[in-house]
Amino acid sequence: MVKTKKTSIWMLNNISSLLFNSPIHRLNSLQCLGVEQKESNPIEAGMCYLHQAAIICEVLRYAPLPKTPDSVPQSAALLSQKLKIDELAAEAFISEWALKSRDVAMKAPEKNEFGIESDFSLNFHTFQRDKRFSVDGLETALVQADKCFTSGKISELSSICIRLLLELAEGQNNLEKMRDLSQSLHRAQEAALDQHNKYGQERFGSFFRVKFYGERFPNEMENQEFIIREGMAAKLSEVSEKVKAEAELMTEVPVTVLQTATAPNQNDMKNMPALHLTFVKIFRHDWQQSDSNTQTEILDKVNSKYFTYSTPFTSTGSAHGSIKTQKQRKTFLKVKHKMPSIIG
């Protein structure tokens, strides 16, 4: 959950989605999204940089460079498998445009003017490859992701980035870089153990479900549910005020926070902008075995798609009753679309 102006984050994410088949423009929007969240939400910013790395790998699949090391993943799907982060595979922008275009890694043409005489000049356009679509660009994205995850106190993800950087350095036979990365990997693993011992599960943050009501919200938010992640030991009342303030930036009118245990009828809320917030937990199926390995634990959080929350009710319609009449309704949610984050 961003803690700055939510409108700019939503705008950048929507632009990024609309430009899904334009890798350069999508890369630009994801870069802006990462920079916007680097200070307030470093983990989400780190995921933005990993998405950039996936786009670079996908472009190298269609427009490879000469002497590209074999250690470079040749597609977003392969990078997703290597890092074990499912959502990165979505950057495989397979389309007729991408398959047919040989200029997938090219910048927009630049206009140049060449003066021959005082009254005569020649205009021409030049095409250049975007330097980010290279091994150096991939390394830059991974380094930025590493820094963000370290800042967000989830060094297990930093270790994953550094291990891939180490493979790239090995493919280039760069011994000096391999030595420095090995030292960085050792520090990241030590930090991961220290963070796990100090904070445990709390460092992953708390998860909440929020639903927006009313026609004043953008179309992609009206009557839609979202899962948001907040910091360690976040309280429902504090999160409600924070989300309310961000919602009012979008609607430019006061927004009501609904206090009812059950969700209201959408038709009754058309003219009144409101939101309903609930604390949720990650849901695991019975066949999903828990693992004490901290890295596996992190990856489970990153790839989580299922959540659950409970609401009290009685047969009479009221939320609370006696011990005999009190009942509990359990709701299960599945994340359909994810923003670049530890959870969508």
- Per-residue pLDDT band for 141 (boundaries 50, 70, 90) equals very high
Query: Is there a single domain that holds both residue 13 and residue 37?
Result: yes
Query: Is there a single domain that holds both residue 183 and residue 34?
Result: yes
Asked if residue 65 belongs to a domain, the reply is yes
pTM of the model: 0.76
Q: Which 3 state secondary structure label does DSSP give 141?
A: helix
Asked if residue 285 belongs to a domain, the reply is yes
Determine the average pLDDT of the residues in 112-136: 64
Is residue 289 pLDDT above 70, yes or no?
Answer: no
- CA of 245: how far to CAs of 5, 106, 249, 254, in Å? 9, 41, 7, 9
Asked if residue 173 belongs to a domain, the reply is yes
Instruction: Among 196, 218, 238, identify where a domain stops.
Output: 196
- Residue 135: CATH number of its domain: 1.25.40.410
pLDDT above 90: percentage of residues in the chain: 13
Query: Is there a single domain that holds both residue 154 and residue 223?
Result: no
pLDDT in tens, 19-70: 556 777 788 888 888 888 888 888 888 988 999 999 888 888 877 888 888 8
- Per-residue pLDDT band for 339 (boundaries 50, 70, 90) equals low
Query: Is there a single domain that holds both residue 80 and residue 41?
Result: yes
Query: Is there a single domain that holds both residue 150 and residue 20?
Result: yes
Query: Is there a single domain that holds both residue 213 and residue 189?
Result: no
Number of structural domains found in the chain? 2
Query: Is there a single domain that holds both residue 182 and residue 236?
Result: no
Instruction: Among 178, 196, 214, identify where a domain stops.
Output: 196
Q: Which residues pair with 276 in a beta bridge?
A: 211, 258
Determine the average pLDDT of the residues in 173-185: 91
Which of the residue ranges 230-234, 291-295, 315-319 has the most confident prediction, judged by mean pLDDT? 230-234
Asked if residue 104 belongs to a domain, the reply is no
Asked if residue 242 belongs to a domain, the reply is yes
Query: Is there a single domain that holds both residue 183 and residue 312?
Result: no
Instruction: Among 196, 218, 240, identify where a domain stops.
Output: 196
Query: Is there a single domain that holds both residue 33 and residue 181?
Result: yes
Is residue 237 pLDDT above 70, yes or no?
Answer: yes
Is residue 245 pLDDT above 60, yes or no?
Answer: yes
Is residue 7 pLDDT above 50, yes or no?
Answer: no
Scanning the structure block, which residue is given the tokens 């693993």? 189
Environment class of 147 (CB within 10 Å of its CB; exposed 0-12, middle 13-18, buried 19+)? middle
User: Among 178-192, 242-256, 328-342, which is the least confidently predicted range?
Assistant: 328-342
Is residue 146 pLDDT above 80, yes or no?
Answer: yes
Range of the domain at 183: 6-99+130-196
Is residue 291 pLDDT above 80, yes or no?
Answer: no
Query: Is there a single domain that holds both residue 192 and residue 45?
Result: yes
Query: Is there a single domain that holds both residue 181 and residue 212?
Result: no
Query: Is there a single domain that holds both residue 48 and residue 19?
Result: yes
Asked if residue 16 belongs to a domain, the reply is yes
* Residue 179, pLDDT score: 93
The amino acid present at 318, given as its one-letter code, is S
pLDDT above 70: percentage of residues in the chain: 75
Asked if residue 289 belongs to a domain, the reply is yes
- Output 73 or 106, whichever has higher pLDDT: 73
Is residue 228 pLDDT above 90, yes or no?
Answer: no
Terminal-to-terminal C-alpha distance of the chain: 9
- Per-residue pLDDT band for 125 (boundaries 50, 70, 90) equals very low
